[in-house]
Structure 1
């Protein structure tokens, strides 16, 4: 997995929404979780979220991502290498936990449940968490429809197209998982002519080439529907809800999962 995240780091500047959270999504975290005075744990080192909270600890398993993506430690924030499923934080000591797309990089439902348990352990009794989802629809899209939509200019960014392609090919319950190399294979089958895709959409070829990071990766992603994730979270939290994060491309599949009041 280290090589996978090192490759992602190398292409980070070419990525955009919905893979990276736009300003309206960042504002949703702040508004829904009341973060202005909070001590926050950030899952990962998403730079757009680094300014949230009064103080912050970011936790990432990849030294390469910390070195290459994190905007830097300050008096009020720091990034540490660590395991999300065994957070380096005392129990009941954190006001808020946030993460962007972090449930999708866990390929198994058992891992998602373990993350919910880890979050519940570290939150204070009045704590809250917000995780932006990459959630597939309950009925998968038809690949031919995704192909036609993209070639007609109906997809806002190449990164939206990557997720749409992935969501046509995920396995079903309980994991809703897909090896990321399969995303690249499905993309190649649907869009064999990258020059044509670039001409029809205006997307630059280096941006389209970010799909090649997936080609030999051992990583497995998951794109579970919202109701499946709500069901998993409700085993650990008494108040679980879905909040829209804006109007950017694919925003309807990228809501914020808001968790409060961990069960004791």
Structure 2
């Protein structure tokens, strides 16, 4: 074999950092050793994987084409190493989740995953749909759990579970006592919404597409709890996933509103890179999500 796993690690670290010094730091190597490993890999096959722009390494077309294969080989090597160790250390799984899923569903799944597999480590990153899918595409995350519809030729988008948005208000808002709220009343109220790029905002815009040009959007916030507090303070109406509102409705801090017929249904999805090796850890994570 003309290449080593270490050379592949240097190649991937350089693709991620775009700098050989930072790549060496990630791998706890000297700069000269990392540079030598990358140079040797390219020379052995008479190829160039990066364009050198000053101190920056910019991955070229060939490098981008080979990157998924290198990722897959390293993942398989890690899985083989785990098998040799008889699963005493199953390694780390890197999961990304959108805010609704991360704050209300993913933590419980992390707890179950770690409880049944002692020694397991889960890195959980919470961000909006655009950020999570971007990191899955760049192999920074093993799997994403997202709320919004998303399409990319390099990603597998797999349906997971159903969800539904709910329009809500403060108990002090006059609409709280109405059995049904008209479109005209929705237009007359200010709104506190999630930011663009989030799956929740995408579903809201789709459900109210006919009213969007007339809506008064007072605030756009990144955090679900901030939106709930703003609505509880009667700064406007909100619209969030039903799973984020159950406790607030039960305690009477917020009130659900029945609107004229609109489709607030949506789906949660798994997102994985098509070239990503599906390790035993990833498969078990998917199973636990489906069991819940």
Please indicate, yes or no, whether the TM-score normalized by the shorter chain is above 0.5: no
Larger Rg: 2
Q: Which has the higher helix share?
A: 2
| TM-score (normalizing by structure 2) | 0.27
TM-score by length of 1: 0.29
